[in-house]
Chain A
Amino acid sequence: EIVLTQSPGTLSLSPGERVTLSCRASQTVISNYLAWYQQKPGQAPRLLIYGASSRATGIPDRFSGSGSGTDFSLTITRLEPEDFAVYCCQQYGSAPLTFGGGTTVEIK
């Protein structure tokens, strides 16, 4: 089973700042099959990125994904008020599908 470790656990930032979130896999993620989701309290997750770097439909271009192998990242170039949420990565290259524990981006 591939374990995904996200760091840091929580980030306190201000609107307008740039942030990069990390997702590290315990084994190589096949074909860079890695997705990122955003989740707000009481809501379902929302797909942001798939294939490590492809933006999902309707996702603003301030969100970008990068990385390969075991190290992946999600960057938000300029935080908007609606971006404060939990961000979670998921690998889908190997069974079982696994998710990271999430990084909370909170307002400073």
Chain B
Amino acid sequence: EVQLLESGGGLVQPGGSLRLSCAASGFTFSSYAMTWVRQAPGKGLEWVSSIRGSGGNTYYPDSVKGRFTISRDSSKNTLYLQMNNLRVEDTAVYYCAKNPTVGGHGDYYFDYWGQGTLVTVSS
């Protein structure tokens, strides 16, 4: 059974940093691309970052590029999101999601999701 368990959320001041983790189990972690998606309170879903199964290619939207870094450790079956220079508008539940394959073209939808971890950016 695929399981994704996020951790690391919490309250942080604007300009601060936080690192999220996502522990994966139930599948061969290194064979699949992984993604972070966030959802601000009462709002829709927003793509945050993706990383290919090999870990060699990473992708970001402009809203977080240069501030967030996605990485993975296949020896620990864990996905990470390092978030720096946090802004109030980064407040959201952050979901870890599994892509259906290694991350080729057409593979950036998500077949399993974690339960999310809440990040609150406030002074």
Contacts and interface: CB of A to CB of B under 8 A. Distances in A.
Contacts of B61: 95-97
Interface residues of A, number: 25
B108 interface: yes
B110 interface: yes
B113 A35 contact: no
Interface residues of B, number: 21
A90 B109 contact: yes
A85 to B, nearest CB: 14
Given A99-B44, A99-B46, A102-B44, A44 B115 contact: yes
B68 interface: no
Contacts of B107: 92
The B interface, classified by DSSP as helix, strand, loop or mixed, is: loop
Interface in B11-58: 44-47, 50
Interface in A48-99: 50-51, 56-57, 88, 90, 92-93, 95-99
Given A46-B113, A95-B59, 13 more contacts: A33-B106, A44-B95, A47-B110, A50-B100, A50-B109, A57-B111, A92-B108, A92-B109, A93-B106, A95-B61, A97-B108, A99-B44, A99-B46
In order of increasing CB-CB distance, the 5 nearest A-B pairs are A44-B113, A92-B108, A97-B47, A35-B109, A96-B61
Interface of B: 44-47, 50, 59, 61-62, 95, 100, 106-116
15 contacts: A33-B106, A33-B108, A44-B113, A44-B114, A45-B95, A45-B113, A47-B111, A47-B112, A56-B111, A92-B106, A92-B107, A95-B59, A97-B47, A97-B61, A100-B44
